[in-house]
Structure 1
Amino acid sequence: MRRVSRRTFLGALGGAGLGAAGLGGLAGCGRLPERAGELLAGAAPLPEPFTVPLPIPEVARPVSPGRYEVTQRVAAVEILPGLRTEVWGYGGAFPGPTFELRRGTPVTITVRNELPVPTSTHLHGGVTPPDSDGYPTDLVVPAGHSSHHSHPGEVLHPVTKDYRYPVEQRAATLWYHDHRMDFTAPQVWRGLAGMALVRDDEEDALPLPGGERELPLMICDRSFDEDGSFRYPDGGHHGGAALDAEYLEGVEGDVILVNGAPWPVAEVSATRHRLRLLNASNARRYRLRLSPGGRFTQIGSDSGLLAAPVAHDELPISPGERYDVVVDFSAYPVGTAVTLVNTLADGPAGNVMRFVVTSRGRDDSAVPPVLSRPPDRPRPVATRTFDFRRTDDAWTINGLRYRPGAPLARPRLGTAEVWRLTGDFHHPVHVHLAHFQVLARNGRPPAATDAGWKDTVDVRPYEVVDVLARFDGHRGLYMLHCHNLEHEDMAMMADFEVI
């Protein structure tokens, strides 16, 4: 079959003016690819899969009660066996350290920038004051920084910034990453990302797997040059629309990494394990399955525990989304190799990682039928529409390129609104501050995998997704945007102000 590029595909869609029904019908026939970016082939030989042990990022240690310090710096690490890769990492690591946070215990994280570029750190999923939310023009700049690349209203913090997090939110799997205006995609690609886990008494009371049987799994894709360096279009120094036109849909790599390791392998006992799944890719979407079979028992979504567990044979996960699941490896004989696969890709990218069941084990964990008492669904006071699409050769929201400080909505603190999200392509929509529930897809009930309170939702081509967003915590200026990071860098963001 002749391969059609996404650029040609998008142009055809725009010219044809296909509606939701027509596109959905094509997708149902399997004629449309579900990839959301253009593949960037690397020059380095692909490593043998399932040979590198799964690394677990170190847990950040406070320098004093409630205070952490982390330095963004350049480091050379081994990602592909036998090669060194220069990363820009929190603590010089990729991923950065995992922050263990406690509901009701505020923390301050001092970020020190020793990189050659400005940065802005966003706690993705955090209910955070606006001055610590990682606004894209609120920048930590390195010593001696001078640049002609600036935007109106930029705030510059020399070398360090204190990010203050109240942590007044339910237990959940969060993550943090760079959010610099125009440069989020290449800077995250270089390594500026890590995980943050919020815990609370409600979760502690559950008999869920813990300790070595709780695995944070940050999944992403990258491409590499022959010398092991990260490969990115235009060298990774683009600004907005200057990105190579071949990759305007988003950049997909040909190496799948989990916790910074290519196609790793983890030895597990024949017991229940809790997997905290994060898609930290720039653009790549995954549909995860277990081979030779098995089920995921979902216990949590982006923003915390579900009310009750939900079983899935597969999990679609778009950039920025998280799933908190339990897999019972006692269902497999000792010696079984269980592969986490991605059914949206062929070839090497069709594999993610492998678990090898090496021994029996005593298991006193369980997944209870009642997990939590999540917040009640509030009554909405307004309905708004946000349309994500290509307009006049730019990625836009409601036909507008991003303008910092020009909010498209002003919801009131303590209220909820229905936000109708529409688009022309795969757009994983992320809303800062506000958590939401998916109400409907194309006027029909949401998928079982949409369950729970979320902060990111995959809006598929010509789909209408209704979400109920709750505005709690803080007043101030926040954002919604596409979490395809190349789309974000090319102006697919908008401000809203909580009043």
Structure 2
Amino acid sequence: MPEDFAPSPSGPDPSGPSPSGPRPPGLTRRQILGIGGAFGLLTTAGLASAAALARRPAATGAELRSTAALPPPFRTPLPLPAVLKPVATDGTADRYEITQREASAEILPGLRTRLWTYGGTFPGPTIESRRGRPVTVTHRNELPVPTVVHLHGGRTPAASDGYPTDLVLPAAWPDPAAGPDAHAMAGMPAMARDTQGMADPRAVTSRLTRDYTFPNDQRPALLWYHDHRMDFTAPAIWRGLAGLHIVRDDTEDSLGLPAGPRELPLMITDRAFTADGSLHYPSLDPTLRERPGVREPYLAGVLGDVILVNGAPWPVHETDAARHRLRLLNASNARHYALEAVTDDGRRLDLVQIGSDQGLLATPVTHRTLPMAPAERHDVVIDFAPVPTGGLVRIVNRLGTGRTRDVMAFRVARPAADDSRIPPVLATDLPDWRRQDAARVRDFSFRAGRMNGGHGWLIGGKPFDPARTDVTVGLGDTEVWRLVADVHHPVHLHLTGFRVLTRGGRPPLPHDAGLKDTVSLRPGESAEIITRFDGYRGRYLFHCHNAEHEDMGMMANLEVV
């Protein structure tokens, strides 16, 4: 077992939290590798100097600049993703069908943008499900490359979790069983092969269609589904392969939270566009067939200069002067946000957080500024009652500059009665995992390094290899994991949620409350998380959800036995 994956004794970590600041220009390759070298020294020295790295700016990545004419903010109405209807249903389960296909949409006014979509729309259609009621989704791949679907945040059996080599092949794609050359053509680049030059021996591929079954045996929460193909996740999500999946239950429904038209799912992303409206992305291989990765200036992550909410640029939503529940998802590849709600006269409205990645908090937490890393979800309530009719409330990103400082706006159109409420106790079913119950403590480093003679992003000093088992845990075991980063790394754990125990040896931050599945590590920062692996046996993943980092090696295998 590699040293960085090994169990170790627990102890405090002296690194401190990093201050937020304006988004800087992208880090250069030399700076990234320099940070990685410095981080190696820090791990050797027990992180005694981690606070120095923690002062690095609060962003990782380089920004693409659009050449298309961009619209003014707050003119485009906010679209809401359609809710998908089941093709079959009975007393115990529902079945859905989604076709993955190319489509064209008017994202920027007067221009058409080619997208890769779930069901012809971006975002894809929303699946509304009930706790404990299984859902099977048949995905049909009519795109020009293989795909994989992962339900992010799902408590899912391994066969349906969307392992990166469990490909759904297009109809005309070469057969992976035909030999090494066909493996490369089947979405298994040379960097993905094991030491014998073969692709993942455990991969389960299918031709054209695949059924994914989600038991929904989990707390009600906002989940999302997206492509997870090995080495090509980032450009596939950038092209549009993302959608929402909401799990509900009767207990949550009875709380009196804002509902119906006052509950808004908001998928926040950033993109860049060429002059003809095409999506701009710096792929080394624009066909996404053989060569993974991005051009050198964007190795740390790709940022766009257009902020989209539900696929619309800087939209506006007309609303009542009442409480609204905002189901927020940061579906950006690499961009971080620090969200605020600001009125015309400069006042900041409270963002009352009621839920996190894995569902409702125990009690509400009030924020004025709410940070969000890629893949994180926050469930918040905003009360528009104090805003005068006709007033504008802007949702801004304090980490953005120029156009990326604005996200969207709400126009308060009319007074309204409001019988919703925010209960002082939201949930009583959060797990009570205790440090003393942990079977073991493990250390994991997330840092830049060398991979196959080039740049990579590594966990425990190693790039991802689907043929290697990195961590083995027992079904039902409770573990504490200590994570430490060189630059920003939002770390996502498949299958199970976790609680954040500490950041830099100190208590977790207010937005760490509740049950998480993604934790945002800031530069030079460490965090401890605790979880129980009580879902299913099989092969799962943990990885950085900066999608470019993920594609360049920052994933590891987790085997539950």
Q: Does the alignment reach a TM-score above 0.5? A: yes
TM-score, scaled relative to structure 2: 0.86
Map 1:238-253 → 2, pairs under 5 A: 242-253=293-304
State the AA in 2 paired with 1:386. Answer: F
Q: 1:476 to 1:86 in 2, by over 3 A?
A: same
Q: 1:454 to 1:51 in 2, by over 3 A?
A: same
Cα deviation code 1:60-104 (max 9, x no counterpart): 100011100010011111100110001110001100000001001
Shift of 1:8: 4.1
Shift of 1:206: 0.4
Q: 1:11 to 1:405 in 2, by over 3 A?
A: closer
Match of residue 289, structure 1, among 340, 350, 357:
340
- Counterpart secondary structure, 1:449: helix
Q: 1:24 to 1:344 in 2, by over 3 A?
A: farther
Map 1:84-483 → 2, pairs under 5 A: 84-146=112-174, 148=185, 149-150=187-188, 151-153=199-201, 154-234=203-283, 236-237=286-287, 242-292=293-343, 293-378=348-433, 379-392=437-450, 393-483=455-545
Q: Distance in 2 between matches of 1:201 and 1:295?
A: 27
Answer yes or no: is the 8 Å Cα contact 1:408–1:496 preserved in 2.
yes
Match of residue 13, structure 1, among 35, 44, 65:
35
- Counterpart secondary structure, 2:270: strand
- Greater RCO structure (CA 8 Å; 6+ sep): 2
Cα deviation code 1:315-365 (max 9, x no counterpart): 110000000000000121111100000000110000100001111001000
Answer yes or no: is the 8 Å Cα contact 1:439–1:446 preserved in 2.
yes
Aligned length: 496
CA RMSD of aligned residues (A): 1.7
Q: Distance in 2 between matches of 1:357 and 1:316?
A: 25
Unaligned runs of 5+ in 2: 1-21, 175-181, 189-198
Answer yes or no: is the 8 Å Cα contact 1:84–1:229 preserved in 2.
yes
**Does residue 1:484 correspond to 2:546, yes or no?**
yes
Q: 1:397 to 1:3 in 2, by over 3 A?
A: closer
- Counterpart secondary structure, 2:328: strand
Q: Distance in 2 between matches of 1:346 and 1:40?
A: 13
Partner of 1:64: 88
Answer yes or no: is the 8 Å Cα contact 2:394–2:406 preserved in 1.
yes
Q: Distance in 2 between matches of 1:236 and 1:303?
A: 35
State the AA in 2 paired with 1:330. Answer: A
Partner of 2:9: none
Q: Distance in 2 between matches of 1:408 and 1:486?
A: 21
Q: Distance in 1 between matches of 2:37 and 2:370?
A: 33
Cα deviation code 1:114-133 (max 9, x no counterpart): 11111000000000000000
Q: Distance in 1 between matches of 2:479 and 2:37?
A: 33
- Counterpart secondary structure, 1:181: coil
Q: 1:404 to 1:27 in 2, by over 3 A?
A: closer
Answer yes or no: is the 8 Å Cα contact 1:240–1:490 preserved in 2.
no
Cα deviation code 1:365-400 (max 9, x no counterpart): 000101111233222111111111112232111011
State the AA in 2 paired with 1:13. Answer: I
Q: Distance in 1 between matches of 2:286 and 2:428?
A: 44
Q: Greater shift after overlay, 180-189 or 235-244? A: 235-244
Cα deviation code 1:390-434 (max 9, x no counterpart): 122321110111111422111111221001111111000000001
Q: Distance in 2 between matches of 1:226 and 1:438?
A: 44
Q: Greater shift after overlay, 240-249 or 295-304? A: 240-249
State the AA in 2 paired with 1:206. Answer: L
TM-score, scaled relative to structure 1: 0.96
Answer yes or no: is the 8 Å Cα contact 2:482–2:528 preserved in 1.
yes
**Does residue 1:34 correspond to 2:97, yes or no?**
no
Q: 1:236 to 1:23 in 2, by over 3 A?
A: farther
Answer yes or no: is the 8 Å Cα contact 2:53–2:523 preserved in 1.
no
Q: 1:5 to 1:397 in 2, by over 3 A?
A: closer
Q: Distance in 2 between matches of 1:480 and 1:405?
A: 15
State the AA in 2 paired with 1:215. Answer: L
- Counterpart secondary structure, 2:404: helix
Shift of 1:10: 2.2
Answer yes or no: is the 8 Å Cα contact 2:469–2:559 preserved in 1.
yes
- Counterpart secondary structure, 2:205: strand
State the AA in 2 paired with 1:127. Answer: R
Q: Distance in 2 between matches of 1:332 and 1:13?
A: 46
Partner of 2:8: none
**Does residue 1:44 correspond to 2:68, yes or no?**
yes
Answer yes or no: is the 8 Å Cα contact 1:72–1:88 preserved in 2.
yes
Q: Distance in 2 between matches of 1:348 and 1:8?
A: 28
Q: Distance in 2 between matches of 1:444 and 1:206?
A: 33
Q: Greater shift after overlay, 144-153 or 273-282? A: 144-153
Q: Distance in 2 between matches of 1:331 and 1:413?
A: 50
Partner of 1:497: 559
State the AA in 2 paired with 1:480. Answer: F
State the AA in 1 paired with 2:29. Answer: R
Answer yes or no: is the 8 Å Cα contact 1:480–1:495 preserved in 2.
yes
Cα deviation code 1:120-178 (max 9, x no counterpart): 00000000000000000001111111252423333221110000111100100100000
Answer yes or no: is the 8 Å Cα contact 1:240–1:491 preserved in 2.
no
Q: Distance in 2 between matches of 1:21 and 1:358?
A: 54
State the AA in 2 paired with 1:80. Answer: L
Cα deviation code 1:268-288 (max 9, x no counterpart): 110000000000000001010
Q: Distance in 2 between matches of 1:170 and 1:76?
A: 36
Shift of 1:240: 6.5
Answer yes or no: is the 8 Å Cα contact 1:271–1:362 preserved in 2.
yes
What percent of counterpart residues are identical? 54
Unaligned runs of 5+ in 1: none
- Counterpart secondary structure, 2:498: strand
